[in-house]
Amino acid sequence: MTKLNDLKVKIFADGADLDGISAMHANPLIKGFTTNPTLMRKAGVTDYEAFARSVLDVVTDRPVSFEVFADEPEEIERQALVIASWGPNVNVKIPVTNTQGVFLGEQIKRLTSSGVVVNVTALMTLEQVENVTACLDAGTAAIVSVFAGRVADTGRDPVPLMSEAVKILLQKPKAELIWASPRELFNIFHADQVGCHIITVTNDVLNKLSILDKDLDQYSLETVKMFRTDAESAGYTIRTDDDRAASA
């Protein structure tokens, strides 16, 4: 397995907890940050812009992605321009379609042509990757975010899909591919092997870095001890027939 320090894929921390973001910012392994309205709502964020600006006060030296939440294409574009104005390291997340399934290609074209660094999100098919790639301005950096984890949730192997997506994006050398919504630490190595530029990882998965290359015999013993300790702490007992008879 490739060692952590040898990875070419960049790790972006995905979350909406300001304390967690601050902690991850102190880790040089983390090369950027992403969030979304769902994560922000779960974290109790009530003021979208205030939260975003507080993140940007902490993260000044690495890219941060904030997402639009409008649904009308024109309003999506307006929100994207406002979000982009919050800082030079801001990437604007644009969904591949709106909730009606309308492809937002025209908005992607105009935004990237005007120099906005978009992070086109929620892609799951190669057709979507091809369509988005065709809309990107060749002179502007961009990110294409394929939700490989959700693809895997459907029983499909995301590795061949992501490998092909890397090839498609070669048409736009300034564009980068994200392996999004990973389900386990090993997905970092999957992403690296197929040539993904970035993988977004939540704090719960990132915390597993502490057991990378852990001795498996030791890990097995610790697991056995955990089961034993939890059973004792719960006060579990298994009675024999003689025990039942004695207590009857």
Give just the sign of the alpha carbon dihedral 61, 145, 203, 81: positive
- What is the mean pLDDT of each successive set of 10 residues along the chain, which is 248 residues long? 79 94 93 96 96 97 97 98 98 98 98 98 98 98 98 97 98 98 93 97 85 93 97 93 74
Q: What per-residue confidence (pLDDT) applies to 1?
A: 54
Question: Quick check: is 208 catalytic?
Answer: no
The letter for the amino acid at 32 is G
**Nearest by Cα to 125 from 99, 174, 160:** 160
- How many CB atoms neighbour CB 62 within 10 A? 15
**Nearest by Cα to 29 from 12, 49, 51, 50:** 12
Q: What is the rounded CA–CA span in Å between residue 187 and residue 192?
A: 8
Q: What per-residue confidence (pLDDT) applies to 56?
A: 98
Give one DSSP letter per residue of 19-61, joined into a string: HHHHHHHT-TTEEEEE--HHHHHHTT---HHHHHHHHHHH--S
Tokens of 12: 């972006």
Per annotation, catalytic residue among 8, 42, 93, 208: 93
Tokens of 201: 């990882």
**Nearest by Cα to 185 from 198, 197, 203, 173:** 203
Angle, nearest 10°, between helix axes 158-168 and 126-135? Answer: 20
pTM of the model: 0.89
Q: What per-residue confidence (pLDDT) applies to 2?
A: 57
Show Cβ contacts of residue 177 under 8 Å, excluding neighbours closer than 6 positions: 143, 144, 146, 162, 165, 166, 169, 196, 197, 198
Tokens of 128: 């979507």
Instruction: Name the phi and psi angles at 43, rounded to 5.
Output: -85, 0
Q: What is the rounded CA–CA span in Å between residue 194 and residue 186?
A: 13
Q: Which CATH class is domain 4-212?
A: alpha beta
Tokens of 197: 């530029």
